[in-house]
Amino acid sequence: MVRVGKKYRFSASHRLHSPALSAEENRELYGKCNNPYGHGHDYVLEVVVAGAPDAVTGLVVRMGQLDEYVRREVISEFDHKYMNEEIEVFRDLPPTTENVARVIRERLVRGWRAAFPSSASLDSVRIHETRRNIVELGGDMKEAVTG
Amino acid sequence: MVRVGKKYRFSASHRLHSPALSAEENRELYGKCNNPYGHGHDYVLEVVVAGAPDAVTGLVVRMGQLDEYVRREVISEFDHKYMNEEIEVFRDLPPTTENVARVIRERLVRGWRAAFPSSASLDSVRIHETRRNIVELGGDMKEAVTG
Amino acid sequence: MVRVGKKYRFSASHRLHSPALSAEENRELYGKCNNPYGHGHDYVLEVVVAGAPDAVTGLVVRMGQLDEYVRREVISEFDHKYMNEEIEVFRDLPPTTENVARVIRERLVRGWRAAFPSSASLDSVRIHETRRNIVELGGDMKEAVTG
Amino acid sequence: MVRVGKKYRFSASHRLHSPALSAEENRELYGKCNNPYGHGHDYVLEVVVAGAPDAVTGLVVRMGQLDEYVRREVISEFDHKYMNEEIEVFRDLPPTTENVARVIRERLVRGWRAAFPSSASLDSVRIHETRRNIVELGGDMKEAVTG
Amino acid sequence: MVRVGKKYRFSASHRLHSPALSAEENRELYGKCNNPYGHGHDYVLEVVVAGAPDAVTGLVVRMGQLDEYVRREVISEFDHKYMNEEIEVFRDLPPTTENVARVIRERLVRGWRAAFPSSASLDSVRIHETRRNIVELGGDMKEAVTG
Amino acid sequence: MVRVGKKYRFSASHRLHSPALSAEENRELYGKCNNPYGHGHDYVLEVVVAGAPDAVTGLVVRMGQLDEYVRREVISEFDHKYMNEEIEVFRDLPPTTENVARVIRERLVRGWRAAFPSSASLDSVRIHETRRNIVELGGDMKEAVTG
C-alpha cells in the first residue's frame, strides 16, 4: 500500500456567518471573519490516493487523470469564487475550513469509482487555509453534508 | 547602511475591474479576476527599513515600534476586508497588486518621519500576492496615487 | 471526524546533557548540542485537534479559544527561555525534542477537558526543531514524564 | 510511542519507461517524463522512526547514527545519479516515485535491526519529488520488489 | 517604477563538463556533478519586469501575456530535458546555473520589445537550482553567450 | 555580472543586552529578548558573490571553495554557540541581528581576496533570524565594528 499525494491551489473568498445565529452571536463567534463583505485566502488542497502501484506502470494513479478529475470536480468550481454566493451548498452552511474540506471530499468521492476503476482509493483530503491552519479528513469518513 | 526587513500577513478579497473599461474589456483583460463577487488572497507584506544600527542598542529600528506602526497604518485597514468596497481609494482604482503596493507604500511614507525621527528610512515595500507573484516598490518612488 | 491543526512558534535555547551520564559520555552522545552554554532553535509547535464540526458553527474548535489555551499553557512558558534553567522539569530531564514534545503534550492534556468540554479531543502534537527534524506524539499516548 | 522524522535531500535524474509497453504506449502513459534523455528532480526523503525515548538519553534514535545509516544505504547510491542506468533495480522497473519509495524503503529495512538493535523501528518513508507530489509508505509494508 | 516578479518551474537534467578541460580536471572541478550520466534538478525561474503601472489597468504587464511568452521562449524548451544533449548551446557550454541563467536571459531579451511594446522592461532573471543556490542576472547585462 | 547566492544554517543563542544601558532600560528596550538566560534561533545566512562566470568553467566561484571558506570563517564559530559568552566581540556589543550580520560580513571580507584571487567579489550578506525577520548588508559597506 502506497499513498500518493498531490497539491492543488485555489484562491477564494468567504464570509463566516451561521444563519442559525443572531448578528451579534455571529460577530462574537467568528470575529473579523464575520465581516459583511467577506475576505479571501489562497487555499492549498492536498488529495491523497492510496493503492498498490501497478506492476507494469509503477503508478498508483495516472497523475494527468487525477489532475483532470480534481480540476473538473473542485478547482473549476472554487477558484476565484465568493463561496457564500457562488457555491450553492454554502448558502446555508458556514464556509469554515472544516466545511470546505467536507464539501470538497464529497465531490471527490461521488464520481471516484467511475473515474478510477482500478484499485486506487481516495485516502484523505487536506486543506491549508493559511500556512498555519490545516484541516484533514481521513479515509474513513462516510456521512454527507450536502444532499 | 543595513537593511532590515519584516514580514506581515493579511487576508483580503478584491475584484479586478477598471471603471474606464467596458464590461467586456474588463472580462478580457482580467479574466477570472474580474469575477463579480471577488475572490481573495493571503498577502505577505515585507517592509524594508534602511539605516545605520544605533551604537548603543545595535538596532536600526525598534521592532515593536515598527510592528505597531505597520499594524496601525496598514494591517488594521486591509486585513479581512473586501478592498473594492471597504478601502476608499479602491472605489476608482483597480486593486491590482501593483496598486495595492503603491497605496500601502504611501500610507507608510505619510507619517514615517514623525514616527521614526531617527536616521531609519523606509527603503522598499514588497507584496507577495501568492507564492508565485511578487511586487516591489524601491526606496526612490515619489509620486502619490491617492489625494 | 475532522482533524484541525494549528501552528505556533517559539524561540528557546537548550543544552543536551543527561545527569545520568559522565561529562565524557555526554559529549560523545550529544556532540555540539552538549556545548556548556547552550544554543537555540525556532521551534514550530503543531497542535492537532479531532472532532466533528459543530452543526451550527461549522467548527471543530473555536480558534481563538485554542490559541488562548496553547499560549497560556505552553508558549508563555517556553518562548524566549533557556529550558534547562527556566522550565522546572528540564533540570533533570534532557530537553531533547522528544522530551520537549512529551512535556508540551502533557501540559495540553492536563486542562483539556475543562477548557474544551465539547467533543473536540487533542489528537497529536508535532514539533519541528528545524526544517529537517520533526517529532510527533500520537493521540494514544498515556504515560506522564512529569510528576 | 514517539515518531521522529528526519529529512534528507538528493538530486537525481530518471526516465519513465516501462519495458512491458510499446514506445507509443510509453509516450502516451508518461508524456514528457518518457523523454529519451531523462530529466531530473531534487528529491526530499523523509525517514520516520518510531519508538519510546530512552530514559537516560531522551532520544528515540541517535541522529548521527541515523544520518550515517541513511547516507550509506540510500543517499550515496542515489545522489547525482541517472537512476535508470546507475541503479541496478531500475533497469527493469520504471523509476516512478512510487517505485523509488519502495526501493528506498527496502534498503532501509534490510539492515535496520542490525544497525538499530534498540526498540526504535522504521515507521514510514516519504518522498517529495517536487513541492506538489508526495509518496508515502507506511510502516506495515512487507513485500519486496527487489530480489 | 514598480518591479513585478513571477515564478515558473521546470525540471531538467544536466552534466557539468567543460570540453576545454581533461577528464581528470573535470572530475576534480565539478565533483559528482561531472557524473557521466547526468543528474537533475527542479529549477525555479523568477522573471522580474519593471515599469510604471498603466493608469487604466493598474498593471505593469498582463500576467497572461508574460506567462505565454516565458513558456514559449523558455519553459517549453527546458522542461523535462537533458540540457547537454537537447539544448543546442549547451553542447559546448557547461550548463552551470550561471550559464543557464545567461542563456535564459538572452532568450527573454531577444523578442522582448516585440512582445511587450509598452514601457515594461525586463529587469532581472533569477534561478534557484535548489533551495540553497540562487543565481541572479541584473537588468544591466548586455553581452551574449549564444550566437 | 552575475550574482550567485548560497544559504547556510546555524543554530545559536543570544541575549540582547547593552552594557551602556541600565537593567530597566534594557528590559524596556529589548523586552523578552533581554531575558537573563538567553534564547535561541535557527539563523539562515545567505552569502552573495558577484562576478563574471569563468569562460572555461562557467562558474563565478567554485561552490566547494565557498562552502569551505564560509564554514571555516563563520559557521564553525557561530553554530551551537551562546554568542554573548562564546564569541569575543559580543561581550560588549549587543548581538542583535544587525550586529551579527556586520560581524559576519567583516569575517568574510577579511580573508576574501586571499581565498578568492579571481574576479569574484563579496556582494552582500543576508541573515534571516526567523522566517519573518531579515537583515541585509550591501556590497558597499566599509567600516568595521571589531578591532
The predicted pLDDT at position D146 comes to 37
Give E19's DSSP letter: T
Residue C108: is its pLDDT beyond 70?
yes
Catalytic residue selected from A25, A68, A80, A98: A80
Residue D19 has pLDDT above 60, yes or no: yes
Residue B112, C-alpha cell as written in the block: 514615517
**How do residues E82-95 score in pLDDT, each as one tens digit?**
999 999 999 989 99
Dihedral of the alpha carbons of E64, E66, E70, E73, in degrees to the nearest 10:
100
Chains B and F form CB pairs within 8 A to the count of: 58
Give the confidence band of D138 by pLDDT, cuts at 50, 70, 90: confident
Higher pLDDT, E139 or D61: D61
Residue count (chain E) = 147
Percent of chain D with pLDDT over 70: 94
Residue A25 falls in the annotated catalytic set:
no
Chain centroid to CA F109: 11
The whole-angstrom separation of Cα F2 and Cα F5 is 10
**Could you give the residue numbers annotated as active site of D?**
33, 80, 129
- Res. C130: pLDDT tops 80: no
Choice among B64-73, C3-12, D111-120, F53-62 with the minimum mean pLDDT? D111-120
- Give F139's pLDDT tier (boundaries 50, 70, 90): low
Confidence band for C132, pLDDT divided at 50, 70 and 90: confident
What pLDDT score was predicted for residue D139?
Answer: 54
Integer Cα distance of F114 and D43 in angstroms: 36
Q: Residues F25, F68, F80, F88: which is the catalytic one?
A: F80
Sequence-distant contacts of D30-33: CB under 8 A, at least 24 apart = D30/D94, D31/A64, D32/E79, D32/E80, D33/E80
> A5 touching D, CB under 8 A?
yes
Phi, psi (rounded to 5 degrees) for C96 = -70, 160
For E21, the 3-state DSSP assignment is coil
Which letter does DSSP use for residue E127 in this model?
Answer: E
Q: Which chain B residues are Cβ-neighbours of A43 within 8 angstroms?
A: none
Report the distance separating Cα B111 and Cα D7, nearest Å.
Answer: 46
Contact assignment for D12 to E37 by CB distance below 8 Å: no
CA D82 to chain centre: 15
**D12 with E38: Cβ contact below 8 A:** no
Facing residue for B56 by CB, picked from F20, F102, F132: F20
CB contact under 8 Å between A98 and C64, yes or no, is no
> What is the C-alpha to C-alpha distance for residues E70 and A20, in angstroms, rounded to an integer?
50
Q: In the block, which residue shows the cell 560580513?
A: F105
In the block, residue with C-alpha cell 473515474 = A115
Query: Pseudo-torsion of CA A27, A30, A35, A38, nearest 10°?
Result: -150
Residues above pLDDT 70, as percent of chain C? 94
Question: Which of A11, A32, A86 minimises the CB distance to B40?
Answer: A11
Is the CB of residue A139 less than 8 Å away from at least one CB of chain D? no
CA–CA separation, D44 and D78 (whole Å): 12
Interface partners of B (3+ CB pairs, < 8 Å)?
A, E, F
User: What pLDDT does E132 receive?
Assistant: 79
Residue of B9, B11, B37 lying closest to A39 (CB–CB): B11
Residue F98 has pLDDT above 60, yes or no: yes
pLDDT bin (cut points 50, 70, 90) of residue A139 is low
Give the DSSP letter string of chain C. Answer: -EEEEEEEEEEEEE----TTS-HHHHHHHHGGGG-TT-EEEEEEEEEEEEEPPPTTT--SS-HHHHHHHHIIIIIHHHTTEEHHHHSGGGGTS---HHHHHHHHHHHHHHTHHHH--SS-EEEEEEEEEETTEEEEE-TT----S--
Report the mean per-residue pLDDT for chain C: 89
Residues of E in contact with D41 (CB under 8 A): 11, 40-42
Q: Which of A128-137, D132-141, E68-77, F123-132 has the least mean pLDDT?
A: D132-141
- Residue B140's pLDDT is what? 42
Mean pLDDT of C39-43: 90
pLDDT above 60: residue E140: no
Q: How high does pLDDT run on average in chain D?
A: 89
Task: Please state the ipTM of this predicted complex.
Answer: 0.87
Q: Which chain C residues are within 8 Å of A97, Cβ to Cβ?
A: 4
| A78-89: average pLDDT | 95
pLDDT band with cut points at 50, 70 and 90 for residue F147 = very low
Q: How many angstroms separate the CA atoms of B128 and B137, rounded? A: 12
Q: Closest by alpha carbon to F55, among F121, F118, F122, F113?
A: F118
What pLDDT was estimated at residue E130? 73
- Separation of alpha carbons B79 and A96, rounded Å: 18
Q: CB–CB of E54/E65 below 8 Å?
A: no
Residue type, C80: H
Contact call for residues D35 and E80 (beta carbons, < 8 A): yes
pLDDT mean over F56-61: 94
Q: Which residues of chain B have pLDDT under 50?
A: 140-147
* Interface contact A135-C59, CB threshold 8 A: no
pLDDT of residue A117: 83
The larger pLDDT score, comparing residue C71 to residue A141, is at C71
Domain D2-138 is found in CATH 3.90.1150.10: no
Mean pLDDT of chain F: 89
What confidence tier does C118 reach under pLDDT thresholds 50, 70, 90? confident
| Cell of residue C16, nine digits | 543536551
- The rounded percent of chain A whose pLDDT value lies above 70 is 94
**pLDDT computed for residue A79 by the predictor:** 95
Q: Which of A137-146, C10-19, C99-108, D62-71 has the lowest mean pLDDT?
A: A137-146
DSSP at E33: G
Helix (H) or strand (E) holding D112: helix D112-115
DSSP letter assigned to residue D34:
G
Q: What is the predicted pLDDT for the residue at D44?
A: 93
Is the confidence at residue F115, as pLDDT, over 90? yes
- What are the chain D neighbours of C18 within 8 Å (beta carbons)? 56-58
Give chain E's mean pLDDT.
Answer: 89
Q: Which of A98, A132, A134 is closest, CB to CB, to C59?
A: A98
Cα–Cα separations (whole angstroms), residue C128 to C7, C97, C100, D3, F127 = 10, 8, 11, 12, 20
Section F66-76 average pLDDT: 97
Sort strands C81-82 and C133-137 into parallel, antiparallel or unpaired. Answer: unpaired
User: What pLDDT shows up at residue F145?
Assistant: 41
CB environment C136-146: b (16+ within 10 A), e (fewer): bbeeebeeeee
Chain D residues whose beta carbon lies within 8 Å of the beta carbon of residue E81: 35, 37, 39
- Whether the Cβ atoms of residue D145 and residue D93 lie closer than 8 Å to each other: yes
**Tell me, what's the pLDDT at B142?**
35
Q: Distance from F126 to chain B by nearest Cα, in Å?
A: 9
How far is residue E57's CA from residue B93's CA, in Å, rounded to a whole number?
9
pLDDT at residue F146 is higher than 60? no
Give the Cα separation of E134 and E44 in Å (integer): 9
DSSP designation for E72: I
Residue of C nearest to A30 (CA): C62
Q: Are F84 and C37 in contact (CB under 8 A)?
A: no
Chains touching C, CB cut-off 8 Å, 3+ pairs = A, D, F
Among C18, C131, C136, select the one facing D56 at the smallest CB separation: C18
Q: Chain F: give the shortest CA distance to residue E114, in Å.
A: 25
To the nearest whole angstrom, how far is the Cα of F100 from the nearest Cα of chain C? 15
What SS3 string covers chain B?
A: CEEEEEEEEEEEEECCCCCCCCHHHHHHHHHHHHCCCCEEEEEEEEEEEEECCCCCCCCCCCHHHHHHHHHHHHHHHHCCEEHHHHCHHHHCCCCCHHHHHHHHHHHHHHCHHHHCCCCCEEEEEEEEEECCEEEEECCCCCCCCCC
Residue B145: per-residue pLDDT: 40
Rounded to an integer, what distance in angstroms lies between the CA atom of residue E123 and that of residue E52? Answer: 13
**Interface C-D: count of C-beta contacts within 8 A:** 58
Chains C and B in direct contact, meaning 3 or more beta-carbon pairs closer than 8 angstroms = no
Sequence spans of domains, chain A: 2-138
Set of chain F residues whose Cβ sits within 8 Å of the Cβ of B4? 97-98, 133-136
E58, B96 contact by CB (below 8 A): yes
Least confident of B55-69, E126-140, F8-22, F103-117: E126-140
Using an 8 Å Cβ cutoff, are C15 and C35 in contact? yes
